[in-house]
């Protein structure tokens, strides 16, 4: 098995677990776990794609999924993934680009950096972080007790639904794209 194939195999497995968790009641499976598997699946899918496009790509980085809109902006990819026109596909990639970043930033090592703070000092799906409560006092927040708006966006907004479709089709048709 080649390196990109191993990443693809793991991405497909992670995505299956994401789908299973997505169906569960949120009182049984907190949203952070669902999103953790989505983040991991999309990161590995992106690494598989980027390794196919550029074998010198460094798969040790967590910044990969946000590169997809730039690396896969091609007419042949649009056609293989089922878009009616290249312009529709290109428009989707531009419009959904912030969602690619939001999913990537669910990883505690990627989120927005602030002066004097570390990568994990922000809302993420894996580790607790410090924040200010309504009274302005510092407190710790656990991902399992939080709601993240990205899951709603993926299920209800136009660009979110299209992103969902994009990920599904790229996972299913990867070998046809590359």
- Percent of the chain residues past pLDDT 90, beyond the cut: 82
Q: Tell me: the pLDDT tens digits for 1-30? A: 999 999 999 999 999 999 999 999 999 999
pLDDT value, residue 112: 64
Alpha-carbon separation of residue 157 from 55, 89, 138 (angstroms) = 35, 16, 33
Element (H, E) at 39: helix 31-53
> How much is the average pLDDT of 49-77?
95
Closest C-alpha to 170, from 53, 37, 48: 48
CA 46 centroid distance within chain:
9
**What is the band of 121 on the pLDDT scale with cuts at 50, 70, 90?**
low
pLDDT score, position 159: 86
Residue 139 confidence (pLDDT) above 70: yes
Is the pLDDT at 117 greater than 60, yes or no? no
Of residues 157 and 168, more confidently modeled: 168
Q: Cα-atom radius of gyration of the chain, to the nearest Å?
A: 17
Residue 102 pLDDT exceeds 60: yes
Q: Could you tell me which residues are beta bridge partners of residue 140? A: 130
Output the pLDDT for position 5: 97
pLDDT band, residue 107 (cuts 50/70/90)? very high
Q: Quick one: pLDDT band at residue 122, thresholds 50, 70, 90?
A: confident
Is the pLDDT reported for residue 120 higher than 60?
Answer: no
Average pLDDT score over the chain: 92
- pTM for this prediction: 0.91
Helical H runs in 54-157? 68-71, 75-80, 86-104, 149-156
For the segment 57-62, the average pLDDT, to the nearest whole number, is 93
């Amino acid at each position: 098995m080649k390196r990109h194939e191993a990443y693809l195999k793991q991405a497909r497995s992670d995505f299956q677990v994401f789908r299973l968790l997505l169906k569960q009641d949120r009182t049984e499976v907190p949203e952070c776990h669902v999103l953790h598997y989505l983040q991991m699946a999309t990161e590995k899918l992106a690494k598989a794609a980027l390794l196919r496009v550029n074998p010198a790509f460094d798969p040790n980085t967590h910044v990969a999924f946000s590169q997809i809109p730039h690396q896969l902006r091609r007419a042949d990819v649009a056609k293989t993934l089922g878009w009616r026109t290249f312009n529709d596909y290109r428009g989707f990639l531009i419009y959904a680009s912030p969602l690619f970043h939001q999913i990537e930033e669910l990883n505690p090592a990627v989120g927005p950096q602030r002066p004097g703070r570390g990568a994990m000092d922000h809302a993420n799906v894996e580790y607790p972080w410090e924040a200010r409560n309504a009274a302005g006092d510092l407190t710790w927040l656990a991902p399992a007790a939080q709601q993240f708006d990205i899951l709603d966006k993926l299920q209800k907004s136009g660009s979110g639904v299209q992103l969902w479709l994009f990920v599904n089709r790229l996972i299913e048709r990867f070998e046809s794209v590359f």
